[in-house]
A = this chain, B = another copy of it.
Amino acid sequence: MNEYKLLIDTTDEKGLVYNISKILFNHNLNIETNSEYVDKDVNKFFMRTVISGDFDKTILLEQLHSTLPKDATIKLSKNTKKNIIILVTKEAHCLGDILIRHMSGELDGNIIAVIANHDTLKDLVEKFEIPFICISHERVERETHEKMMIEAIDNFNPDLIVLAKYMRILNPLFVDHFKNKILNIHHSFLPAFIGANPYKQAWERGVKIIGATAHYVTSDLDEGPIVSQDIVRVDHTYSWQDMRDAGRNVEKVVLSNALNLLLNDKVFIYGNKTVIL
């Protein structure tokens, strides 16, 4: 018996739950979990249902489309593992955390390749028998480099691209090509300390808390919809390097949590926000 995730995202209107549940009921489906959310301010309805049973996928989708508002987005995805490409530069902590989870079966996804602009992490990745591709940005125009990256990624046709401390700014060319498919970990409590070396900025400001933010990447740098955030406490005895080290613990946990949400289709994007069901 098959298990599917049904994801609906539409303008809200009276009777939506009734109309959807009637269709599901008539297909004699089992509802494993069901979550809905309505944002009254923008009149939007979101639903995530895990269903199982023997049913005709095409007919179900047709019925839903003919019943729901015209602008409805309806996704019915089989409960299979998504394919992930990880982009990195030199830092091992986020990548290492994902590799360990992958190896021990804790990750609900397949890492199909790691692509980097430095070869620092080659050894680590190859220990885990995962393809490592280095596309250096040196002596290459920025745009050319980005096109090489896009091409390399497209070869794998991934469901998701994870920037696990990939320290290059991405241009709209790249971001639009992989729209709503790129997850980034930002080494600060966004929207504070945007830009370069946020730990040094935080240290100079004398903060008592360090944060990390996992967010979708949009063409506005560091401004995409936030998926997950967490913090760690610091004090005046921390150098900025200590703050960075403390921040790394938060970064890897926040990124892994966010990745887990995306792999399980739990995140809806609307406007510049996320709904997590």
Residues of A at the B interface (CB closer than 8 Å) are 14-15, 17-18, 21-22, 24-25, 28, 30-41, 91-93, 96-97, 99-101, 103-104, 106, 124, 127-128, 189-193, 204-209, 211, 225-231, 233, 235-237, 239, 245, 248-249, 253, 256-257, 271-276
Contact = CB atoms under 8 A, between A and B. Distances in A.
B24 A18 contact: yes
Given A100-B93, A192-B192, A17 B14 contact: no
Given A38-B34, A189-B192, A191-B193, A272 B206 contact: yes
A206 B273 contact: yes
B30 A38 contact: no
So how many copies of this chain end up in the complex? 4
A94 B96 CA distance: 12
Which residue of A39, A205, A253 has the most chain B CB atoms within 10 A of its CB atom? Answer: A205
A22 B18 contact: yes
A236 B25 contact: no
Nearest to A208: B229
A47 to B, nearest CB: 10
Nearest to A206: B273
Given A38-B33, A92-B104, A236 B17 contact: no
Contacts of A208: 226-229
Contact of A192 (B18, B33, B40, B191): B191
Contacts of A15: 21, 25
A32 B39 CA distance: 10
B32 A40 contact: yes
B276 A235 contact: yes
Contacts of A231: 209, 231
Contacts of A229: 207-209
